[in-house]
Structure 1
Amino acid sequence: MFTWKLVQALLGVALIGLVQETHAQTVPSKDCASGVHAIISRGQGPGNDLSVMKALSDKILDQIPGSTTLGFPFDHDPEDKFTAVSSGALMLQGYVADYVKSCPKSKLALVGYSLGAVLTMEALCGTSSLLLIPVPPLDPSYNTSVIANIVYGDETYVPFQPWNTGNCSVGLGIFPRLNPSSCDPFASSLHSYCDYGDNQCCSPLPDDDNLAHHTYMKKYDQDVVDFIKRRLDS
């Protein structure tokens, strides 16, 4: 008997196969990170694969010796946002699997902002939001390699989760996650930054041009680096 979870799983397996045919992150052993390897997914828009996340990439490289970073090359200026999220999430899972296979002793951090935050959460937790294209969750066995997961302004945000960070207390994202417990295997490594005034993850108020959605980097990039350091030490 077919169930929704079975449909998700079958679709996910099929799409993963298609994605991994054209995208991989196989790394020579000499290039494996001895600090952390950070895969950074930017927000929606044209330009390079880091954009406003370059400052965070620079901080990681400067403050955590032996680290490497990658601006994740998903379709960040898409005509179809929903397809970009699902294909990006599956592609990110493929990158994690390939990197861990290439560098089994290295540790990874996944960081996403805005559209990149949605695909990062989808890659970790799988899909439980209405309207989003189904993606299966990342295998929990990767939680020993993926030691930090940080998102800014995630549109699947829901309140009262142990990983929530920032000052949004009761708001919801545009596509709230209906089964946040699917993130539990990665709970200790996850920080979701969402501030009041971010129209995309928290609340349509205040009417200030969504200012809070654009200030995470300046406010929290150093906190993110410090969190990654603590996770590496633990």
Structure 2
Amino acid sequence: MVGRKFFGALFSIALAGLIQGTQSQDVASKDCATGVHAIISRGQGAGDDLNVMEALSDKILDQIPGSTTLGFPFDHDAEDKFTAVHSGALMLQNYVEKYVKGCPKSKMALIGYSLGAVLTMEAVCGTSSLLLIPVPPLDPSYNTTVIANVVYGDETFVPFQPWNTGNCTVGAGIFPRLNPSTCEPFESSLHSYCDYGDNQCCSPLPMDDNHAHHTYMKKYDQDVVDFIKERLRS
């Protein structure tokens, strides 16, 4: 049984590498964003690639002229969240690299919620949480192009970081990041929203039926758009 699980894990990692190698975001120069290009990663579950993040996508398109958005097509319906995060983080890095190659003057925002938040932070900072399958950090040279990295309810959340936003100040995520210093090249672009009552990023503080994990969009979507605008100006 142990051997079967081991080889199954190896197969999952190999499959993730195959997925990462065959997915990219090649963009014609005429389609490059003149505002911001936002890649938005939703939470776990069935449905389309934007799901509850559609309202944020609409706000970006409405309020930042020349912008484009993409519901990131990672395997959000997978039962194995560890493989979904690993393959999704590698694929997101590939999307960034391909987009920058095709649109070197465009600016990007990476936005994630719940499972999408984990893979977004993994793609930017690399892995330093126990149990998650290792991913290397995004090359720091992209910190002038990727001008905003915003996550809601990130399960790798740890307290006392300069990019923490929201009201959780002492709780931690289910898979807390053990070496947050790997995020520092992107520090000025990072906002990590985590509120009390979110069992996934602010455990073990007030349970509240995990209510806070589902209220970020209504509370903070406009703040995120304003943050992206500010980063574009700077």
TM-score interval, smaller chain: over 0.9
| Alpha-carbon distance in structure 2 between the residues aligned to 1:187 and 1:83 | 26
Q: CA deviation at 1:209?
A: 1.3
CA contact (8 A) 2:159 2:169 kept: yes
TM-score by length of 2: 0.92
Counterpart of 2:208 in 1: which secondary structure?
A: coil
Q: CA deviation at 1:127?
A: 0.3
Q: CA deviation at 1:20?
A: 4.0
Q: What amino acid does structure 1 have at the position aligned with 2:165?
A: T
Counterpart of 1:106 in 2: which secondary structure?
A: coil
1:132-171 matches, within 5 Å, as: 132-171=132-171
Equivalent pairs, count = 222
Tell me what 2:9 maps to: none
1:200-225 Cα deviation digits (max 9, x unpaired) = 00023423210000000000000000
- Say whether residues 1:67 and 2:67 are aligned partners: yes
CA RMSD in angstroms, aligned pairs only: 1.4
1:74-132 Cα deviation digits (max 9, x unpaired) = 00011210000000000000000000000000000000000000000000000000000
| Alpha-carbon distance in structure 1 between the residues aligned to 2:68 and 2:141 | 22
Return closer, same or farther for 1:191/1:50 CA change in 2, 3 Å cut-off: same
Q: What amino acid does structure 2 have at the position aligned with 1:185?
A: P
Tell me what 1:195 maps to: 195
Tell me what 2:40 maps to: 40
- Say whether residues 1:128 and 2:147 are aligned partners: no
| Alpha-carbon distance in structure 2 between the residues aligned to 1:73 and 1:57 | 15
Counterpart of 1:111 in 2: which secondary structure?
A: strand
Tell me what 2:23 maps to: 23
Tell me what 1:6 maps to: none
Counterpart of 2:124 in 1: which secondary structure?
A: helix
| Alpha-carbon distance in structure 2 between the residues aligned to 1:197 and 1:103 | 40
Q: What amino acid does structure 1 have at the position aligned with 2:197?
A: G
Q: What amino acid does structure 1 have at the position aligned with 2:190?
A: L
Q: CA deviation at 1:18?
A: 2.8
CA contact (8 A) 2:129 2:156 kept: yes
1:79-228 matches, within 5 Å, as: 79-228=79-228
Q: Which runs of 5+ in 1 are unaligned?
A: 1-13
CA contact (8 A) 2:171 2:204 kept: no
Q: CA deviation at 1:19?
A: 3.4
More deviation in 93-102 or 14-23?
A: 14-23
More deviation in 196-205 or 121-130?
A: 196-205
CA contact (8 A) 2:152 2:194 kept: yes
CA contact (8 A) 1:15 1:90 kept: no
1:116-151 Cα deviation digits (max 9, x unpaired) = 000000000000000000000000000010000000
Return closer, same or farther for 1:17/1:202 CA change in 2, 3 Å cut-off: closer
Q: CA deviation at 1:16?
A: 8.0
Q: Which runs of 5+ in 2 are unaligned?
A: 1-13
CA contact (8 A) 1:16 1:94 kept: no
CA contact (8 A) 1:166 1:194 kept: yes
Return closer, same or farther for 1:94/1:37 CA change in 2, 3 Å cut-off: same
| Alpha-carbon distance in structure 2 between the residues aligned to 1:93 and 1:57 | 20
Return closer, same or farther for 1:218/1:199 CA change in 2, 3 Å cut-off: same
Q: CA deviation at 1:65?
A: 0.1
CA contact (8 A) 2:123 2:138 kept: yes
